[in-house]
């Protein structure tokens, strides 16, 4: 194996709840009606995809471009106040990076990935947002692009994921998938059963030994 590719939200930062709170608040402030399925439906979507979803399915009375700009601006504010790095995540990435090529393949917009890397100072040479791809997770596009930029075959990559759509994306890319289930939004049991499950991100270095 040549590389380890990390998801960001839910794997390295405990941000899924932050995204959910920001999107709900923004949607309700702009004429939307939140639905029970909205949270899970948007997990893994690229920025253009979830912006369209908030307009089409939730009923936000703005253009998708205005939705994405507004929500991302609120996320930047939230991260400026507190970046919710998951305990053990920074240490795990540093330990893994000493032995493997590493990358991030995330549905988060590039500006928020950049904030994470600047705050943590992690040695991650390749960081890909699904904004750069035709489709977000569960499409494998973002993982395939990350592997391509690392110059390695997808089959020689580990992928570390937490959500149903993320696990599906990494498996579809042909990678060896390690699941770190999100405790707030657990992945589907039938999907999790297809991958190796870790108790926490801190278990990753030993799991790759």
Across 32-42, b (16+ Cβ under 10 Å) vs e yields bebeeebbebb
- HSE-CB at 205 with a 13 A cutoff on CA atoms is 13
DSSP 8-state code for residue 160:
E
Mean pLDDT of all residues in 36-65: 93
- HSE-CB at 56 with a 13 A cutoff on CA atoms is 9
The H or E element containing residue 144 is helix 141-150
The pTM assigned to this predicted structure is 0.90
Cis peptide before 50 (omega within 30 of 0): no
3-state helix/strand/coil string of 2-48: CEEEECCECCCECCHHHHHHHHHHHHHHCCCCCCCCHHHHHCCCCHH
Does residue 184 register a pLDDT over 90? no
- Token pair belonging to 38: 């909205």
Mean pLDDT of all residues in 84-111: 96
In the chain, ranges of CATH 3.40.50.1000 domains: 3-14+84-207
Spatial CB neighbours of 54, under 8 Å, sequence gap ≥ 6: 23, 26, 27, 32, 60, 64, 67, 71
**Dist CA 103 CA 100 (whole Å):** 10
In the chain, ranges of CATH 1.10.150 domains: 16-81
- Band (pLDDT 50/70/90 cuts) for residue 44 is confident
Residues 168 and 174: beta-carbon distance below 8 Å = no
What is the reported pLDDT for 96?
Answer: 98
**Dist CA 128 CA 126 (whole Å):** 7
- Between helix 16-29 and helix 47-56 the angle, nearest 10°, is 40
Q: Please calculate the CA angle 125-139-59 and round it to the nearest 5 degrees.
A: 110
**Domain 16-81 bears CATH identifier 1.20.58:** no
**Dist CA 74 CA 187 (whole Å):** 26
What is the reported pLDDT for 183?
Answer: 86
**Closest by Cα among 165, 169, 171 to 187:** 165
**Domain 3-14+84-207 bears CATH identifier 3.40.190.10:** no
- Band (pLDDT 50/70/90 cuts) for residue 91 is very high
- Band (pLDDT 50/70/90 cuts) for residue 36 is confident
**Closest by Cα among 192, 183, 3 to 105:** 3
């Amino acid at each position: 194996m040549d590389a380890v590719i990390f998801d960001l939200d839910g794997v390295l930062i405990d941000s899924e709840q932050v995204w959910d709170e920001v999107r709900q608040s923004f949607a309700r402030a702009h004429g939307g009606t939140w639905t029970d399925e909205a949270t899970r439906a948007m997990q893994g979507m690229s920025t253009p995809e979830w912006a369209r979803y908030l307009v089409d399915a939730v009923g936000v009375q703005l253009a998708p471009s205005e939705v994405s700009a507004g929500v991302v601006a609120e996320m930047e504010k939230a991260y400026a106040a507190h970046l919710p790095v998951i305990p053990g995540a920074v240490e795990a990435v540093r330990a893994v990076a000493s032995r493997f090529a590493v990358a991030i393949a995330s549905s988060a917009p590039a500006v928020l990935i950049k904030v994470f890397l600047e705050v943590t100072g992690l040695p991650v040479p390749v960081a890909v947002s699904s904004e750069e791809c035709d489709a977000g997770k569960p499409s494998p596009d973002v993982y395939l692009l990350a592997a391509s930029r690392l110059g390695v075959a997808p089959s020689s990559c580990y992928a570390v994921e937490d959500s149903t759509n993320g696990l599906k994306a990494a498996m579809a890319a042909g990678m060896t998938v390690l699941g770190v289930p999100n405790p707030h939004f657990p992945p589907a049991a039938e999907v999790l059963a297809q991958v190796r499950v870790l108790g926490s991100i801190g278990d990753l270095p030993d799991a790759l030994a």
